[in-house]
Amino acid sequence: MCEILLLFLVHLSRPVCVDVASDTEAVLGSSMKLTCISCLKREELKPNTNVNWYFTSSENNTYDRIHVYSQSLDGPFKDRLIWNGSKDLQDVSLLILHVTESDRGIYECHVNRTFEFGTYTPYTVTKKNITLTVKEKASNDTTAIYSEIMMYVLLVFLTLWLLVEMVYCYKKISKSDEQVQDTAFYLSIGSLKKKKKKKKLKP
């Protein structure tokens, strides 16, 4: 049991990539995170990753698709769009500052990865679309609030369970160490008695 717990703790200490959907409702004048996560199946691999974001505005029914992010930011989102992803490029999210009415539309996240295995260079393409709506005030989503509360309750429960298990394992290991020490002590006493008996038997 203690060995399983230690393995579990080691696994928790490592960063874990979880693919989650992006929020699609922004509030006017606030910041909005465009979440795009593309997890690697094998995190020990280090592919060449290229990230691109595109935006198609739904304002005035123009539907003009523009390139808003590659390795730098340009266009109408300049100074309002910042990188909000991870260093390993599994999370390639962006953050919109000071959301305006013209920010509503479709955002496309493209992640291109090239793997190098000698002369063999396979590649993968991940595409995700986020249809963003803009509202003057945030809507009260009771389901999201309930889910967030349950997530925190679960985290507290798991933390307490881990603490209890760690204390139990510590006591168990300490008890086993004491038993080993006692056994070694009694064995040493027994060996000394045998030596004394041998000395007495000698003529």
10 with 16: CB under 8 angstroms? no
* 149 and 122 within one domain: no
pLDDT of res. 91? 93
pLDDT of res. 10? 43
* 123 and 30 within one domain: yes
- Domain annotation covers residue 16: no
The DSSP code for 30 is: S
- Domain annotation covers residue 111: yes
pLDDT of res. 58? 81
- Domain annotation covers residue 124: yes
* 113 and 42 within one domain: yes
Q: How many domains is the chain partitioned into structurally?
A: 2
Angstrom distance (rounded) from CA 97 to CA 100 = 9
Angstrom distance (rounded) from CA 144 to CA 149 = 9
* 149 and 135 within one domain: no
* 124 and 99 within one domain: yes
- Domain annotation covers residue 9: no
106 with 131: CB under 8 angstroms? yes
34 with 90: CB under 8 angstroms? no
pLDDT of res. 13? 46
Query: Residue 199: which H helix or E strand, with range?
Result: helix 142-201
- Domain annotation covers residue 172: yes
* 135 and 156 within one domain: no
Short-list 66, 60, 47, CA closest to 108: 66
* Residue range of the domain that includes 130: 25-139
pLDDT of res. 100? 92
pLDDT of res. 187? 60
pLDDT of res. 7? 46
From first to last of its 203 residues, the chain has per-residue pLDDT tens of 555 544 444 444 445 788 888 999 999 999 999 999 999 887 667 889 999 999 998 876 666 888 888 865 555 677 788 999 988 889 999 999 999 998 999 999 999 999 888 888 888 999 999 999 999 887 666 666 667 788 788 888 888 888 888 888 877 777 776 666 656 555 666 565 555 555 555 55
* 71 and 50 within one domain: yes
- Domain annotation covers residue 156: yes
